[in-house]
Structure 1
Amino acid sequence: MTLSDPGEPAPVGPAPRFDTLPLDPKLLRAVADSGYTAMTPIQAKAIPIVLAGRDIMGAAQTGTGKTAAFTIPLLQ
Structure 2
Amino acid sequence: MSQNSKAFENARRPFRTKNLITALGLGGLALGTFAYSVYKVHQDTLDDVVMTPEVYERIERERRQSQELQNQSSMKNPPN
User: Into which bin does the TM-score normalised by the smaller protein fall?
Assistant: under 0.3
Q: Which has the higher helix share?
A: 2
Question: Which is greater in Rg?
Answer: 2
RCO greater where, 1 or 2, for CA within 8 Å and sep 6 or more? 1
Instruction: State the TM-score, normalized to the length of structure 2.
Output: 0.20
Instruction: State the TM-score, normalized to the length of structure 1.
Output: 0.20
